[in-house]
Amino acid sequence: TNRTTFNWTDSRIVEWEKFAELAKYEPESQKPTVKALLIVAYSVIIIMSLFGNMLVCHVVLKNKRMHSATSLFIVNLAVSDIMITLLNTPFTLVRFVNSTWIFGKAMCHVSRFVQYCSLHVSTLTLTAIALDRHQVILNPLKQRMSLTKGALSISVIWLMATCFSLPHAIYQKLFQYNYREATVRSLCLPDFPEPAELVWKYLDLSTFLLLYLLPLLIITITYTRLAKKLWLRNAIGDITTQQYIAHHKNKKKSIKMLMLVVVVFAVCWFPLNCYVVLISSLGIKTKNSLYFALHWFAMSSTCYNPFIYCWLNESFRSELKSLLCICQKVPPAGDNALPPMVTSYREAWVEQPRHRKGLASQTVCSTVNMQTANTEL
């Protein structure tokens, strides 16, 4: 069974010591003001994350010009954020507020799995985007990643994330104990096989190093090379024309956007990841206020990306205004006269090789920026 019951008076001392050690993750009862603050803070994250990430999926699916391998990665980020928002954040909030787990044995495993899986999917997807941008910008003549290869890459990402998340999900256990007279509480806690402390320690440490720090190191090196390429020197054969200048500016804007997404993600998750490693490695007991703050900060990463896209991307901004009925934008008549793509789409989500004609006859303007170059990610 995955349910163990402890009693303050009749538990065996060995079992109780084990339970007390596992309980280092469990917060005590909360004051009413703290409960209210937690409910408001987490509710804001849940609402903003669901709305924003669904908006991202809607914009990409609606705009056929965005149907490319890069767009699949962007949607994949949004899906992983939606998953953790629906299947982890609300359950964690209720656990924090009530100081007990009320969702049963199955969700004890699922919620833990989702937290780790979503983190790994996001990290690996950001790495895939960085490597794809590296290939496109530094090797512009080589073949782009197709939709099929993009979908295959995403499948591999989810498979890897699932494999690395399963140990955390499998070795979860639902503990029950008599907190006070006629009061039984349930705790969803790690329960690793012996030697439990070593398994816990090295699992968290290896996860932190291999699936957080290493991908971020790869991303940092990749974007550093891209920054040198775009900001410090021009490619051989570049022609200083209005179209090229606009196109080059859009590439820089695209990289800035992606770098900001990575920085926000890394900053949000770094404190909680470090704290979890310290808990498992040093055996320290968590502090309520600190753990709540770090967990909320990590979960808040799910709602920032849509704002970044809307801030730096005209297509997302226009779609948001449309959905909120702030204003209804009617595409200029000239849009219908444009060919499906121009070569300035090279860095955009739309990366179909068949649309490479008409470079000399096209002029980069605000309309093109909204429909094409501003969809670059």
| Residues 41-93 pLDDT 10s | 999 999 999 999 998 998 888 877 777 888 899 999 999 999 999 999 999 88
The full DSSP string for 319-332 is HHHHHTTS--PPPP
Q: Does residue 16 have a pLDDT over 60?
A: no
- pLDDT tens per residue, range 256-292: 888 899 999 999 999 999 988 888 777 666 666 788 8
Read off the pLDDT band of 27 (50, 70, 90). Answer: very low
The domain spanning residue 8 has which CATH number? 1.20.1070.10
Cα 151 from Cα 143, distance rounded (Å): 16
Q: Does residue 162 have a pLDDT over 50?
A: yes
Domain count across the chain: 1
Q: Which two tokens stand for residue 84?
A: 């953790």
More confident residue, 6 or 63: 63
Q: Does residue 336 have a pLDDT over 50?
A: no
Let me know: does 250 contact 376? Beta carbons within 8 Å. yes
Read off the pLDDT band of 146 (50, 70, 90). Answer: confident
Let me know: does 265 contact 301? Beta carbons within 8 Å. yes
Measured torsion, CA atoms of residues 320, 323, 326, 328, in degrees rounded to the nearest 10: 100
52-61, 67-76, 113-122, 358-367: least confidently modelled range: 358-367
Per-residue confidence (pLDDT) for residue 347, from 0 to 100: 40
Cα 328 from Cα 335, distance rounded (Å): 16
User: Mean pLDDT, to the nearest integer, of 348-365?
Assistant: 39
Read off the pLDDT band of 234 (50, 70, 90). Answer: low
Cα 363 from Cα 306, distance rounded (Å): 29
Q: Which two tokens stand for residue 203?
A: 């699992």
95-99, 123-127, 206-210, 258-262: least confidently modelled range: 95-99
Angle, helices 147-170/196-208, rounded to nearest 10 degrees: 160
The three-state secondary structure class of 287 is coil
Spatial strand order of the sheet with 183-190 comes to 3-6, 172-180, 183-190
27-36, 131-140, 161-170, 188-197: least confidently modelled range: 27-36
More confident residue, 110 or 70: 110
Query: Among the residues of the chain, which ranges form H helices?
Result: 13-22, 32-62, 69-87, 89-98, 104-138, 147-170, 196-208, 214-227, 242-282, 288-299, 305-312, 314-323, 366-371
pTM for this model (two decimals): 0.77
Residues 6+ positions from 374 with CB-CB distance below 8 Å: 250, 253, 313, 314, 315
Residues 6+ positions from 66 with CB-CB distance below 8 Å: 59, 60, 315, 349, 350, 375
Q: Which two tokens stand for residue 223?
A: 């974007």
Q: Does residue 170 have a pLDDT over 70?
A: yes
Cα 302 from Cα 49, distance rounded (Å): 6
Average pLDDT over all residues of the chain? 76
User: Mean pLDDT, to the nearest integer, of 315-342?
Assistant: 54
Read off the pLDDT band of 20 (50, 70, 90). Answer: very low
The residue segments making up the domain with residue 279 are 3-375
Read off the pLDDT band of 325 (50, 70, 90). Answer: low
